Structure 1
Amino acid sequence: MEFQKKRKIEAVVMEKGDSPVRRWEDLNINILVTILLSFDLFQLIYAIPQVCRAWRLACCDPLLWKTLDLSVLQSNFIRLPLKPYVYVDSPSEKKLTGLLNICLNLSRGNIQTLIFHTNLYVNDNQLTFAAERCPRLKRLVMPAWEKLEKPAIRRAIRKWKDLESLTMPSLEKPAYVIKKIARSCKKFSELKIMGTCDILFASTLVSFLPNLKVLSVRCTELSKHALVILLEGLTQLKVLNISHCIITEDLPPPAPMKILTELDESILEKASRLDKFLTCMSDSCIMCQRTRNDKGFMRWYKYEDLWKVDEVKSLAILKL
């Protein structure tokens, strides 16, 4: 692979003459940046900048840093029953700190999309550093927040005034995140929830993000009441994804909670105003089966990269 990329560069520099150019730093920076787009993140930050000053300068080009995708990086961790709920070993934290330091320095504030792996646990200092160095951030994919304190999350969101899209984890009390987004991120329009969307959370979304346009709550337990709140309250909503959800309905006692096998006409009528209403409640669907097996709270670590998938293209990291 390295040999092929070197030959690719040699072919480019030989276009203007019969003999190769001996000074790599003389290669046109636009051509070099185009070539660097084919390198992976670790080659880009650890190998290329060491060649010469001109190549390091090329590694700072904004074209290379529209997206910082750390979805290939995971922490070495142990889950705990009590707060902070996750223990991450020191080498993992140091590796992430070093990686963020290099990437965010090279990017020079040009990152617009920042993607963390569902099992990459960021601490308060790392999140604060990322917020300070990514002032133009528009999309954040951050499903693991167990190690973060509320003040750190609030500070980060306050920095991201241009934030438009968030993929967020399941939090015990997520309302403070939604309220902070409403106050700080006036362009916010897309939300993906990787956890339960109960009646309280649905009501919070309606109260604080009434102009939300795209919402995905796939692969979770969702009550019919919460779904009605979303459909009636989010009047600007264009796309709603409830694919593979367990849809429940509370019945008067002593009747047990009912799991719906299909959506009734009242729900479909409320959803008819949407541009896209994405659903799947099939017994033959593997993802629906997994949601049921996990009792409406997906254990994404069991399914490798499936957490990256979404039926809404703008929210997907891994395409269907």
Structure 2
Amino acid sequence: MERSRAWEVMDTDCLSNIFRRLDVDDRVLAIPFVCKSWYHASIDPLCWLLLDLRPLDFMPRSPFALRFTKEYSLQPFAFTFSGFLKLVVHRSQGLASHLMFPLVFGPSLDDLVFSSKKCSSLKTLVLPRLEQEAENQLPELIKHWKDLEELEMESKPSSFLELVAQISVHCDKFSGLKMFGHIRMEDSWALVNSLPKLKCLNLSKSCMSKEELMVMIEGLREMESLIVNECIGFQVDDEVKRRSLSIQNFEYEGCELRVDDAFDTHEFDCLHVFGLWG
């Protein structure tokens, strides 16, 4: 009876079901080194459906990087974000459904290309601010994620219009978008025309006018959640509230019509580029 309760002899499927609920660093640095049975359970692809890399510090001299280098007997400074990404993606064996990149240490174009080829089953993708080369290729890469349902971006990419068009063509189940940036009228119409079945939209800390907001409220008729907290360029008046009654969850806390008389959209874009807004 006592032996049947021992963790090391538990069924692999049971262990995998437990380990999949742990953070990525525990699955990589703790679990595999306990015993052989735990190691085999830890590399089960079902443990790697959720790849949330946001809490990890990928700087070369961080405690996480140093411990990883030690545990896996790597040469000093051999630890890289790209190498770690390949490790966890390989363990998922193409089954990963959620991939969240860290905000500080973002993916290169090569990392995104690799992920698009090896993580074709993604349902949720979270991206930090990307370099221009990676932004430009994002619409092309989105074609590989046909099961994508939710996309979160730290900022609106320069290729936004093309990206939305590609999502419309290739991602039939797409229903949720989160980003911030300068939302222009063409962006609002692109969402309405290309993603009419969008259910959740979060544009908090963005810059847009009331007119641009109204286009989305009236055009996205299946929208269930609209979050525009701390936006600038409009205030939610009685007309906006009346037109948005069909939206189950409408959040608009802290919205301001403008910052000051000298504020313009060019200034807003510069604030985003240098990370001074939000």
Same fold (TM over 0.5): yes
| Structure 2 counterpart of 1:69 | 52
2:13 to 23, 30, 40: 30
2:238 to 242, 265, 276: 265
| Structure 2 counterpart of 1:318 | none
| Structure 1 counterpart of 2:187 | 201
Residues of 2 paired with 1:214 and 1:39: CA distance?
Answer: 27
Question: Is there any run of 5+ residues in structure 1 with no aligned partner, and where?
Answer: 1-12, 77-90, 249-261, 308-320
Residues of 1 paired with 2:195 and 2:16: CA distance?
Answer: 39
Residues of 2 paired with 1:241 and 1:230: CA distance?
Answer: 12
Superposition pairs for residues 207-246 of structure 1, below 5 Å? 207-246=193-232
Superposition pairs for residues 174-193 of structure 1, below 5 Å? 174-193=160-179
Residues of 2 paired with 1:218 and 1:175: CA distance?
Answer: 19
| Structure 2 counterpart of 1:3 | none
Deviations 1:127-164 (A, max 9, x none): 11111111110011113222544564234211110000
Residues of 2 paired with 1:93 and 1:224: CA distance?
Answer: 51
Q: 1:123 is aligned with what amino acid? A: S
Local SS of the residue matching 2:15: helix
Local SS of the residue matching 1:263: coil
Does the Cα contact within 8 Å between 2:50 and 2:98 map onto a contact in 1?
yes
Count of aligned positions: 253
Residues of 2 paired with 1:247 and 1:46: CA distance?
Answer: 47
User: Cα gap change, 1:203/1:92 in structure 2, threshold over 3 Å: closer, same or farther?
Assistant: farther
* Correspondence 1:172 to 2:172: no
| Structure 1 counterpart of 2:141 | 156
Question: Is there any run of 5+ residues in structure 2 with no aligned partner, and where?
Answer: 60-75
Deviations 1:250-305 (A, max 9, x none): xxxxxxxxxxxx4222211111111111111379xxxx9xxx9x9585589679xx
Residues of 2 paired with 1:190 and 1:298: CA distance?
Answer: 22
Superposition pairs for residues 270-285 of structure 1, below 5 Å? 270-281=243-254
Superposition pairs for residues 99-178 of structure 1, below 5 Å? 99-149=84-134, 152-168=137-153, 169-178=155-164
How much does 1:93 deviate?
10
Does the Cα contact within 8 Å between 1:75 and 1:92 map onto a contact in 2?
no
Does the Cα contact within 8 Å between 1:59 and 1:106 map onto a contact in 2?
no
Residues of 2 paired with 1:276 and 1:32: CA distance?
Answer: 38
Does the Cα contact within 8 Å between 1:167 and 1:194 map onto a contact in 2?
no
How much does 1:208 deviate?
1.0
Deviations 1:73-121 (A, max 9, x none): 4566xxxxxxxxxxxxxx9996111111110111111211111122222
Identity of matched residues, %: 27
User: Cα gap change, 1:235/1:31 in structure 2, threshold over 3 Å: closer, same or farther?
Assistant: closer
How much does 1:173 deviate?
3.9
User: Cα gap change, 1:33/1:146 in structure 2, threshold over 3 Å: closer, same or farther?
Assistant: same
Local SS of the residue matching 2:166: helix
Higher strand share: 1
How much does 1:181 deviate?
0.7
Residues of 1 paired with 2:191 and 2:152: CA distance?
Answer: 14
User: Cα gap change, 1:300/1:212 in structure 2, threshold over 3 Å: closer, same or farther?
Assistant: farther
Local SS of the residue matching 2:28: helix
Superposition pairs for residues 36-75 of structure 1, below 5 Å? 36-37=19-20, 39-46=22-29, 48-49=31-32, 54-73=37-56
Residues of 2 paired with 1:99 and 1:183: CA distance?
Answer: 32
Residues of 2 paired with 1:100 and 1:280: CA distance?
Answer: 37
Residues of 2 paired with 1:241 and 1:300: CA distance?
Answer: 24
Moved more, 107-116 or 35-44: 35-44
User: Cα gap change, 1:35/1:235 in structure 2, threshold over 3 Å: closer, same or farther?
Assistant: closer
Scaled by the length of structure 2, the TM-score of the pair is 0.77
Local SS of the residue matching 2:179: strand
